[in-house]
Structure 1
Amino acid sequence: MEYTLAIEGAPETISGGTSILLVHPSTVETDRVDTDFLKTDTDHLLVISTRTTAREVTQKLEHYEVDESKATILDALSVERGYTRRKSEGVRYVSSPDDLDGIVEQTRRFLAEENGKRRVSLDSITEMIYYADEDSALEAVAAIQDLLAEYDAVGLFHLADEVHEDAVVEEFRSLFDSVLTLDEDGSLTAEF
């Protein structure tokens, strides 16, 4: 299956099973890239949020005019922070950003339940490393990549580069054939 990619400097289409790493400074706004990826040529989308709550993700989707009826949000923060969890059809929860098995399982469940073109955004690998550890995060990212390939879906994975050792960033980059680098000034470089 081919997916349209509406991201500057990137190919016009990518094949199902493609995983893209978005490397960026932690201070730069990634919402534009993320939502451009999510709202183009898709039937269902999963936003895995280890950095913000479901409410904040919903606000982002509304602001950037992403069709929320297609969205499922996996909130990894609200339970751990003790926030009230509003039950709704489009929101799922795991206990915390270090519940990597839960994140992988919820991703598998989403991909198995939904048909058509499916996109997954994981924001952010950095939080997974912070709450769990580098090796566990590597395993979880690889497991999600395998699921994307199995279900012919595509994914965008966020990584804030300056908060990690260069070797850690390179280790994650090596998992991906496709890398977007967002600079402090908002310019985007694509390697596919």
Structure 2
Amino acid sequence: MDYTLAIDDSPDTVPGGTGVLLLHPSTGETDRIDTDFLKKDTDRFLVISTRTTAREVTQKLDYYDVDAESAVILDTLSVDRGYSRRSSENVHYVGAPDDLDGIVQQTEEFLASHDGKLRVSLDSITELAYYAGEESTMDAIRAILALLDDHDAVGLFHLATEVHSDDVVDSYRDLFDGVIDLNEDGTITTDF
């Protein structure tokens, strides 16, 4: 199954199983790319949020006119920070951003329990690595990419370039089928 990408300078479509790495400066405005990725050609999508709460993700989806009815949100922050939370059919929680097993398990449950065209957005790898370490995070990303392949889904994974060494960034690049570079000036270059 093919998926429309709708991202500047990228292929019109990519096959199911494709993982895309979004490299960006720490201050980069990634919301537009992320929401464009989620808007098109999608039956259901999972947002794995390591930087913002489920409420903030919902606000972002509303602001960018993304169909929130199609969203499932995995909030990795609220429990750890002691915020009040209520699980629902479309909002799930893990204890903290370093609960990589829980994140992989929730991703697998989402992909196994929904049909049609499925997308996953993970914002961000950088936060996972901060909490759980680079090696464990890389293993978790490999596991999620394998799940995308198994379930014919696609994913977009954020990584802040200046936080990681060039070698680490290159190691992540090697895991993905496509790479989007968001430059400081807002321009995009891609490699698929």
Q: Which moved more, 1:83-92 or 1:170-179?
A: 83-92
Q: What's the counterpart of residue 144 of structure 2? A: 144
Match of 2:101 in 1: 101
Q: What's 1:110 paired with?
A: 110
Please give the alpha-carbon distance, in whole angstroms, between the structure 1 residues aligned to 2:172 and 2:80: 26
CA distance in 2, matches of 1:122, 1:28: 16
Query: Counterpart in 2 of 1:32?
Result: 32
Letter in 1 for 2:113: E
Instruction: Give me the whole-angstrom Cα distance separating, in 2, the residues matched to 1:185 and 1:130.
Output: 26
Deviation string, structure 1 residues 3-41 (Cα, Å, up to 9, x no partner): 011101000000000000000001011000000000100
How is 1:148-159 mapped onto 2 (pairs within 5 angstroms)?
148-159=148-159
Q: Is the contact between residue 87 and residue 93 of structure 2 (CA under 8 Å) also seen in structure 1?
A: no
Task: Look up the equivalent residue of 1:30 and give its one-letter code.
Answer: T
Residue 90 of structure 1: CA displacement? 1.1
Distance 1:82 1:189 in 2: 39
Within 1, Cα distance between the matches of 2:170 and 2:82? 34
Deviations 1:77-108 (A, max 9, x none): 00001111133321000001000000000000
**Could you tell me which residue of structure 2 aligns to residue 70 of structure 1?**
70
TM-score normalised by L of structure 2: 0.99
Q: Structure 1 unaligned runs (5+)?
A: none
* 8 Å Cα contact 2:71-2:90 kept in structure 1: yes
In structure 1, the residue matched to 2:166 is: 166
What is the distance in 2 between the residues matched to 1:150 and 1:98?
24
Shift of residue 165, structure 1, vs aligned partner = 1.1
Which ranges of structure 2 fall in alignment gaps of 5 or more residues? none
Query: Is 1:177 aligned to residue 174 of structure 2?
Result: no
How far apart, in 2, do the equivalents of 1:66 and 1:166 lie? 34
**Matches of 2:144 and 2:58, distance apart in 1:** 23
When the two chains are superposed, the root-mean-square deviation of aligned CA atoms in Å is: 0.6
Between the aligned residues of both structures, percent identity stands at 66
Amino acid at match of 2:9: G
Between the two proteins, the alignment pairs up a number of residues equal to 192
Moved over 3 A (4+): none
Secondary structure in 1 matching 2:185: coil
Following the alignment from structure 1 to structure 2, what is the Cα–Cα distance between the partners of residues 96 and 36? Answer: 27
Q: Secondary structure of the residue that 2:175 maps to in structure 1?
A: coil
Which amino acid in the other structure matches residue 76 of structure 1? T
Separation of aligned partners in 1, 2:171 and 2:5: 25
CA distance in 2: counterparts of 1:168 and 1:190, whole angstroms: 19
